[in-house]
Amino acid sequence: MNGVNRAILIFRSKEGLVDAALRRWLNAARDALKSREFFSAALSGGNTPAPLYARLAVERDFPWHNTHIFQVDERFVPYDHDENNYHFINTSLLRHVPISPKNIHPILTFEPSPQASADRYEQDLTSFCKSFRMRVPRIDLVILGIGEDGHTASLFPDTPALSEKQRFAVAVTPADPSKKERITLTLPVLNNAVHVLVMALGKNKAGAVREVVENDQSTLPASLVKPEKGSLTFLLDEDAGSLLSDKKRFISR
């Protein structure tokens, strides 16, 4: 993968994987705070990052006052719905730490439509850029998961969101009508990040992981995440890494 500083790590235990994610979070924050007054992270929903959020929730000494938290994506469901990512992120992490509410950037779903929610999130991201003199948000650490179909964030295969070049956030209608409408950060934002972590657990992810890691020509959404001015790290358990041809090389000790 040209131009991207990429690492792949396979862990024998889930604890090892979560430790590694936590270390990367702490290092990304330390590095960001050396050069400016804040650290920013964008968080995914899904099951995989839950143990990381639980570990962060007890990091009392972390510089939460200087931290901005964004969402990677959201389902267009009310806050109290069990599929609402902000509800999950808030209850598992944010409400336990001393972060200022003005530094939390949720995707709000009480707007009349997914498009209106995306527009509101776009405005929030734009004012963040203005405050800190950025053209495109440069988020220090983006935590992503991956779906069996190769989706990441709410970027699904063969959807118009994948070709978005200007906007920071868009509304997405998944092809599968049983899936909720969504709002997602776009590739221009994900690819402008300083560090991107892709966490994947389980055999059901192995095929998508292999395609994304080994096929340079892949057009799966997760393959389009290429932070060229940053780093891309895959943190995998043995099942998720089980189809990689060179898997022994990636085992982390």
Write out the residues near ligand 6PG by the rule CB under 6 A: 44-48, 72-73, 85, 145-147, 151-154
Q: 188 or 202: whose CB is closer to ligand 6PG?
A: 202
DSSP structure string for 58-81: T-TTS-GGGEEEEESEEESS-TTS
CB of 74 to ligand 6PG, least distance (A): 7
Please report the sign of the dihedral spanned by the C-alpha atoms of residue 19, residue 23, residue 26, residue 28. Answer: negative
Q: 33 or 104: whose CB is closer to ligand 6PG?
A: 104
Q: 30 or 146: whose CB is closer to ligand 6PG?
A: 146
CB of 93 to ligand 6PG, least distance (A): 14
Q: 45 or 230: whose CB is closer to ligand 6PG?
A: 45
Q: Are 209 and 243 in contact (CB under 8 A)?
A: yes
CB of 100 to ligand 6PG, least distance (A): 24
CB of 48 to ligand 6PG, least distance (A): 3
Report how far residue 34's alpha carbon sits from residue 26's, in angstroms, rounded to the nearest whole number.
12
H helices of the chain, where?
Answer: 14-35, 50-57, 85-92, 114-131, 187-190, 206-214, 247-250
Q: Which residue is nearest to ligand 6PG (CB)?
A: 145
Alpha carbon distances (Å) from 37 to 1, 68, 98, 195: 32, 11, 17, 18
Angle between helix 50-57 and 85-92 (nearest 10): 40
Q: 8 or 240: whose CB is closer to ligand 6PG?
A: 240
Report how far residue 15's alpha carbon sits from residue 199's, in angstroms, rounded to the nearest whole number.
13
CB of 147 to ligand 6PG, least distance (A): 4
Report how far residue 33's alpha carbon sits from residue 27's, in angstroms, rounded to the nearest whole number.
10
Report how far residue 77's alpha carbon sits from residue 7's, in angstroms, rounded to the nearest whole number.
35
CB of 63 to ligand 6PG, least distance (A): 26
Report how far residue 109's alpha carbon sits from residue 74's, in angstroms, rounded to the nearest whole number.
8
CB of 214 to ligand 6PG, least distance (A): 20
Classify 239 as helix, strand or coil: coil
Q: 73 or 237: whose CB is closer to ligand 6PG?
A: 73
Q: 28 or 225: whose CB is closer to ligand 6PG?
A: 225
